[in-house]
Amino acid sequence: MTHVKEFRIVLLIAIVAVALGANFCNAGTITITETFSTDADPFPGTSYSDWSFTANNGTMTPTVANGVLGIAQAAASGSAEGVAAQTSSDLFGTATFGTDFTVAADLGASVNDSAGSVLAGISIGNIAGLYLPGHSAGFKWRNLATSDETAYIGMGFTPTESTSTPLQSMVVDVEPDGDDYKLSVTITEGSNSFSTNKTFTTDQLGTLNNVGLVYRGWIGSTNGATSGLYDNFAVTIVPEPSSVVLLICGVTMLLGVMRLRRKRA
């Protein structure tokens, strides 16, 4: 019985040690940032070869100038939607961003059109979180693949419209929620802050291997102009250690616990 009891104790210690080892080896994060310090006309160009830009309207002209990515829309071109995106493969050399990561950026919009407006935001896979600078309508979620979207959610403040630089900061945190994923958004401007979250299925999100900066706008005047403004883009991931690394960490913790037990004995 004594040996059985000792075996159970050692087994319990091993399980705890492996769990602690996993947490210890998984404690670090990696962040990659883009400050758009090099001018590019057009964007992406050779200076931003790890970026892509897709749009549903050929009149859109993304450029980088004075440290800001601007996604502009030509006059009288109706509605348009464009995404400047990066992939997990280009940023981190991984198939996906993992199950727990954060995307952040400074955002804003310049609207020189009485009938125009711009939704600026961040996309995670197929899902974009968007808000209206210069308007009190608020924030909404949009599926870029299906065009499904939620109603506007009041933000409690009106984000200031910009002229040349982003004035709001947006952070999107992605974390597992059972078999689905919860996206938590915070938008700040000075002392003003807005937060919300929503859970999406994996079918809605698609593969978590791309994130982006989103422009969605409307313009009707023949001499109008609108532009989404973006800067200080950052993606932070929690690397998922391999099974071998977890085993090594767990065994290391186990040996440490067993050594401590022997000293106490």
Q: pLDDT tens per residue, the chain (265 residues)?
A: 554 454 455 445 445 444 444 444 545 899 999 999 999 999 999 999 999 999 987 678 899 999 999 998 876 667 889 999 999 999 999 999 999 999 999 999 988 766 678 999 999 999 999 999 998 899 999 999 999 999 999 999 999 999 889 999 999 999 999 999 999 999 999 999 999 999 999 999 999 999 999 999 887 665 667 889 999 999 999 886 644 444 445 555 555 555 555 555 5
Cis before residue 62, ω within 30 degrees of 0? no
Say yes or no: 146 and 201 in one domain: yes
Return the bridge partners of 218, or none. 79, 117
Say yes or no: 67 and 2 in one domain: no
pLDDT of residue 77: 65
Give the angle 144-239-28 at the CA atoms, nearest 5°. Answer: 125
Nearest to 107 by CA among 236, 234, 205: 234
Say yes or no: 134 and 265 in one domain: no
pLDDT of residue 117: 85
pLDDT of residue 20: 47
DSSP, residue by residue, the chain: -HHHHHHHHHHHHHHHHHHHHHHHHT---EEEEE---S-BSSSSTGGGTT-EEEES-TTEEEEEETTEEEEEE-TT-EEEEEEEEEEHHHHHSSSS--SSEEEEEEEEEEEE-TT-EEEEEEEETTEEEEE-TT-SS-EEEEETTT--BPPPB--SS-PPP-SSS--EEEEEEEEEETTEEEEEEEEEETTEEEEEEEEE-HHHH--S-EEEEEEEEEE--TT-EEEEEEEEEEEEE-----HHHHHHHHHHHHHHHHHHHHHH-
pLDDT of residue 247: 45
Say yes or no: 53 and 118 in one domain: yes
pLDDT of residue 11: 47
Say yes or no: 128 and 6 in one domain: no
pLDDT of residue 239: 80
Pair of tokens at residue 151? 């109603």
Say yes or no: 188 and 58 in one domain: yes
The domain tally of the chain equals: 2
The residue range of the domain holding 89 is 29-240
CA–CA distance, 115 with 118 (Å, rounded to integer): 11
Say yes or no: 234 and 247 in one domain: no
Say yes or no: 226 and 246 in one domain: no
Say yes or no: 156 and 177 in one domain: yes
- 2-25 and 243-264 are packed helices; what angle lies between their axes, rounded to 10 degrees? 130
pLDDT of residue 245: 45
Say yes or no: 231 and 265 in one domain: no
Pair of tokens at residue 225? 């102009």
Say yes or no: 131 and 9 in one domain: no
CATH number for 122:
2.60.120
Say yes or no: 138 and 256 in one domain: no
